[in-house]
Amino acid sequence: MECCSFFDLLISHYFRPKASKLVVSDYSRSSWEERLVDDVASEVSVESPRDYSSSPVQEDCIYSSEDQCNSLASTPGINGDTAGHIIKVALNSPFRRGTLDPPLRNVSYGNLGLDASNSHHVWRPRHIKLTWSAVKGEDLSGKRMINNYIKERVINIGNYSKVVLCRNVADEEFYAMKIVRKPRLQKFTIPSSEASCSDIYKEISIMKELDHPNIVKLIEVIDDSDCDRLYMILEYVKGGCILKGPDSTGGIPEATARKYLRDIVTGLRYLHSCGIIHGDIKPENLLINDSGQVKICDFGVSQRFEGNNDELRCSPGTQVFTAPECITVLGSGATYHGRAADVWALGVTLYCMIFGQYPFIGDTIKSTFHEIIHRKLNLPKSLNPYLANLLEGLLCKDPIKRLTLEQVTQHQFYKESS
């Protein structure tokens, strides 16, 4: 059984009566309880719960937890026996099953390099707020607002979107707001180097499934059908990216690079265990929070894979971080392995952190691709031999012989104390 995608929710929204302009949709606990009680009300008088194994998932299903179910025991009008039966049925309810059944939902942090205190943590779906109305305004100082978010300053500008720092007047917390320019009525063509409208919804669909300390969290999506912009409210990571482009003065200290490497590998292993290829690992997409922890961001070109089959055909990432096998299959219709391509990009990123420059770079895209495919990796003889060996393993041009993320975690440089 597959959980409904954000795109499915969007389509269903366009085919139902639109709410008043000032109404935003939110999922309160009371609405969850009402729907759950409705779902199991017919079960209270029977001896055994209904079999939900073939039941369709509700279109806008709400997740549940044992704690929320236990709270029903204190609900007025529900005695202990009835509450116990409701809990039993609720744990098999499509509201719960719909979000936990797919393989990527049952992810444990036990083998992902986290602290022992988190080793038994099982992923539970986070609440992502979906708002269908975008109300523009200004605060008392004249700053522009979207709903309850005040725009403070621009953080980054891309080809089809920009990211601004915003403040939520409800909790006074800062967030990153990604503002995406939607194609008006999807009538004009978007160059292949930019994302299409469907790619944006795929990014949202992927991000709403992720909950990990090394992944930037999606908080809210504001998508008004009458507005040509879509707003993604994201966790704000104050420290910026780990490295801002090539630096002739050199990279960062080896101990710091090792610490960042561990966080990146932990986040990547989580993504791959969820069946997701990031596709654009690079320093600009690796942010540092106040405690020095790395968080992976920007899932605009990420792709899914099923089971252990990570063969992909499209490689839309940044050219200088592209694996050689991705270049050779361009336009041929052949496939490459997404996890190995992410590992190559990790190797380029580690090289950038250590040396402050790219391992393979030319004057043009064509010459850069030629360097990536044909030029041998050159490392200084004075380099830490463990680090040199790791870089050679990550930047092995043969994807079959290239190190895996699991092998990286067992490497001496990775395990070495800083």
Q: How many Cβ atoms from other residues are within 10 Å of residue 307's Cβ? A: 7
Please report the sign of the dihedral spanned by the C-alpha atoms of residue 247, residue 179, residue 158, residue 369.
Answer: positive
Distance separating alpha carbons of residues 354 and 262, to the nearest angstrom: 14
Nearest to 240 by CA among 302, 176, 167, 300: 176
Distance separating alpha carbons of residues 397 and 127, to the nearest angstrom: 41
Residue 154 β-bridge partners? 164
Output the six-digit token pair for 165.
Answer: 């720092």
CA atoms within 13 A on the CB side of 70: 3
Element (H, E) at 336: strand 336-337
- Catalytic positions are 280
Dihedrals phi, psi of 341, to nearest 5 degrees: -65, -40
Q: Is residue 294 within 8 Å of 260, Cβ to Cβ?
A: yes
CA atoms within 13 A on the CB side of 129: 14
Distance separating alpha carbons of residues 67 and 78, to the nearest angstrom: 17
Residue 174 β-bridge partners? 167
How many residues comprise the chain? 418
Residue 223 β-bridge partners? 230
Distance separating alpha carbons of residues 63 and 95, to the nearest angstrom: 5
Distance separating alpha carbons of residues 288 and 238, to the nearest angstrom: 7
Distance separating alpha carbons of residues 282 and 320, to the nearest angstrom: 9
